[in-house]
Amino acid sequence: MGSDEDPEPPAGRRRLLMTPMGSRKWVTAYERRLAETVEYPRAGCRLTYRQVLREQVYCLARHFLGQERYQCFRCSW
């Protein structure tokens, strides 16, 4: 117990440590992906991935309220 080191991760799992530069690059790439547009069938138009995520949260909330059946969004990358 007296060790200052983190315990080993569970078998089959690895940790990912990023430098501050690596973190900035990852966030930049993530933000770029969220800004891309994709066809969103429920709305019948193109939305950004950020907007799709928001719409899916609303759909899931309506499902939990018993207002509609949840239909997941599937993108084709």
Position 60 scores a pLDDT of: 95
CA 26 to chain centre: 13
- Summarize pLDDT for 2-22 with one digit per residue, the tens: 456 667 777 778 888 899 999
CB 47 within 8 A of CB 37: yes
Q: pLDDT digit string (tens) for 33-71?
A: 999 999 999 889 999 999 999 999 999 999 999 999 998
pLDDT band at residue 75 under the 50/70/90 scheme: confident
DSSP conformational letter for 12: T
Quote the crossing angle between the two packed helices 20-35 and 49-64, to the nearest 10°: 80
Task: Tell which phi-psi region holds residue 62, choosing left (phi > 0), alpha (psi between -120 and 50) or beta.
Answer: alpha
Tell me the pTM: 0.71
Taking the C-alpha atoms of residue 29 and residue 25, their distance in angstroms, rounded to an integer, is 6
Amino acid of residue 66? G
